[in-house]
Amino acid sequence: MSSTYDVAIIGGGPAGSTVAALLARAGRRVVLFEREKFPRFHIGESLLPFSMKAFTRLGLHEKFLSAGFLKKYGGEIMGACSDSGTKFYFKDGYRSQTDHAYQVTRSDFDKVLLDHAAESGAEVNEQTAVEAVVFSNDGVNLSVRSNGSSRPIRARYLVDASGRTSVLGRQFKIKKTYAHLQKLSIFAHYDGVWRPEGIDGTLTVLIRAVDRWFWLIPLTNERTSVGVVLDSETFRKSKLSAEEEKIRQEAQNSKKDAKPANTDTTTKEKKKGFFGRLFGKKKNKD
Ligand SMILES: Cc1cc2nc3c(=O)[nH]c(=O)nc-3n(C[C@H](O)[C@H](O)[C@H](O)COP(=O)(O)OP(=O)(O)OC[C@H]3O[C@@H](n4cnc5c(N)ncnc54)[C@H](O)[C@@H]3O)c2cc1C
């Protein structure tokens, strides 16, 4: 067998795993590199109906149900000063083809997808980081690093699914920063947050305030993800917690790089848990 892969993929998140599974099922020789060991924490827990067709095509619904992912039937949007919001249900969508999507604990969800890619025939390498990418006329050469040593990989095509890391975006300096989207989010998981009975208890709730918005995402029967998104500058000025230091560090880092690539900064409230004063038992662990 030739040592050249048809496709090399950087990143084993949902994008990388999906493309790996589909290409492997189509008979391509696929290799995927993921720098972390799964399961690992990730944010991005409330899925939309648009993803359902891909899950059907991949044959994933049964695995999702065995993993215990909650069916999500819609959402609710409310103002911070309101007692109730406006609910909507996916079944009522224009030409709706599904009445539900899923709420997922990403560490579990991403692992199901990555294992599925391997079962579909992709060669999956965890704890292996792509360090260098060099294109040639008829393919691409990678240098990948695991267990402290590097090795070369050759493929005809490359898929960059490295998420916010944007390996190729950084390499070619094409990643853009939007001045009006310098956002930050603070989030944590809680047990015991009140929710309504029935399908209304599966809705993602978005609460809109003047200069920020909150999410409440039911992840399991017990656990809820709660987060807030606001301007980094607003949070910095509030002098709320040790998180400020983290933002300053990230701002400094992006200055050093002379390419503040991220349009938002995702942090996890670990110390004070100000939501903890509003909700039940706080769980930092996902
Ligand atoms: C605060 C916040 C809330 C969000 N909420 C939602 C939500 O409710 N619903 C939703 O659908 N989306 C949400 N998102 C978006 C969601 O997180 C992303 O769309 C999703 O994770 C993108 O998947 P991906 O596979 O492209 O990238 P990722 O999931 O980020 O996966 C990229 C993978 O690449 C790996 N990687 C990076 N660099 C390298 C390298 N050099 N070598 C090897 N591996 C590498 C990383 O370790 C990572 O595992 C949210 C995002 C944020 C920031």
Q: How many CA atoms lie within 13 A of 95 on its CB side?
A: 1
In which element (H, E) is residue 111 found? Answer: helix 106-119
What single-letter DSSP state applies at residue 66?
H
How confident is residue 270, by pLDDT bands cut at 50, 70 and 90?
Answer: very low
In this prediction, residues 261-281 reach a mean pLDDT of 37
114 lines ligand 1 (CB under 6 A): no
Which residues of the chain form beta strands (DSSP E)?
A: 4-10, 30-33, 70-72, 74-79, 86-89, 101-103, 123-125, 129-136, 139-146, 149-160, 183-191, 204-208, 212-218, 223-231, 264-268, 281-283
12 lines ligand 1 (CB under 6 A): yes
Q: Calculate how far, in angstroms, residue 14's C-alpha sits from the geometric centre of ligand 1.
A: 8
Q: Calculate how far, in angstroms, residue 94's C-alpha sits from the geometric centre of ligand 1.
A: 28
Mutate to test the pocket of ligand 1, among 33, 35, 226 (most ligand atoms within 8 A of CB): 35
- The 10s digit of each residue's pLDDT in 138-148 is 999 999 999 99
CATH 3.50.50.60 residue ranges in the chain? 4-45+105-171
Mutate to test the pocket of ligand 1, among 51, 145, 162 (most ligand atoms within 8 A of CB): 162
> Helix, strand or coil for residue 221?
coil
- The 10s digit of each residue's pLDDT in 108-147 is 999 999 999 999 999 999 999 999 999 999 999 999 999 9
49 lines ligand 1 (CB under 6 A): no
Nearest CA to ligand 1 atom 45: 11
Q: Calculate how far, in angstroms, residue 83's C-alpha sits from the geometric centre of ligand 1.
A: 33
Q: Calculate how far, in angstroms, residue 270's C-alpha sits from the geometric centre of ligand 1.
A: 21
Pick 4-45+105-171's CATH classification: 3.40.1190.20, 3.90.226.10, 2.40.50.220, 3.50.50.60.
3.50.50.60
- The 10s digit of each residue's pLDDT in 159-204 is 999 999 999 999 999 999 999 999 999 999 999 999 999 999 999 9
Q: What is the pLDDT, as a whole number, of residue 235?
A: 87
What single-letter DSSP state applies at residue 202?
G
Mutate to test the pocket of ligand 1, among 165, 171, 183, 228 (most ligand atoms within 8 A of CB): 165
> Helix, strand or coil for residue 83?
coil
In this prediction, residues 210-228 reach a mean pLDDT of 95
Q: Calculate how far, in angstroms, residue 13's C-alpha sits from the geometric centre of ligand 1.
A: 6
Task: Check if the beta carbon of residue 155 is closer than 8 Å to that of residue 140.
Answer: yes
Q: Which residues are within 8 A (CB) of 86 and not within 5 positions of it... i.e. 6 or more apart?
A: 76, 77, 78
- The 10s digit of each residue's pLDDT in 221-237 is 999 999 999 999 988 88
DSSP assignment of 118-148: HHTT-EEESS-EEEEEEEETTEEEEEEEETT
Please report the atom of ligand 1 found closest to the CA of residue 161: 26
265 lines ligand 1 (CB under 6 A): no
| Residue 212 reports pLDDT greater than 90 | yes
CA–CA gap between residue 110 and residue 16 (Å, rounded): 10
Q: Calculate how far, in angstroms, residue 44's C-alpha sits from the geometric centre of ligand 1.
A: 7
Q: Calculate how far, in angstroms, residue 114's C-alpha sits from the geometric centre of ligand 1.
A: 13
